[in-house]
Structure 1
Amino acid sequence: MDRSPPVIVFPPESGGGRRVTIRGEAVGTAHGLFDVLELLHSAGLPAVDTAVDDPELIEWRGGGPYDWNDGEADER
């Protein structure tokens, strides 16, 4: 059985931010890790800082959790 992560964070957009879906539904645009954690919390998912590195929870497309500005690393 193929189980994909419930959260997908899409590549950085030209206007800034990354689209986020949870269980196939668009839930917003994140502009940093704090936004991702807020979206996880709102959906009742683990919202601890280690969650961003959990491949069973989040699939990062077009860059990892520290890529936010069209592929440039986030400096937070």
Structure 2
Amino acid sequence: TPIVAPSANKSGMPPPKTAEEVLAYFDGKVEIVLDAGPSPLKVASTVVDVTEMPPRILRAGPVSEAMLMDCLKA
């Protein structure tokens, strides 16, 4: 079953920065990693809970709360 996730780390652990680190972190439990190279932003993704209104940022990243709210108004 394919899984898509915003990061490849367990909660509370630092996210891997390369595809090689992802493969090493999961020690053979992952069959394939799509490697698009390092993120030019150099920070982990923003994670947002949109199951409630207003949405709540669970992990700060390159998308600020103001940017999120501007997108939701559109």
Q: Same fold (TM over 0.5)?
A: no
Structure scoring higher RCO (CA < 8 A, sep ≥ 6) equals: 1
- Please indicate the TM-score interval, normalised by the length of the shorter structure: 0.3 to 0.5
Task: Flag the structure with larger Rg.
Answer: 2
User: Which protein is richer in strand relative to its size?
Assistant: 1
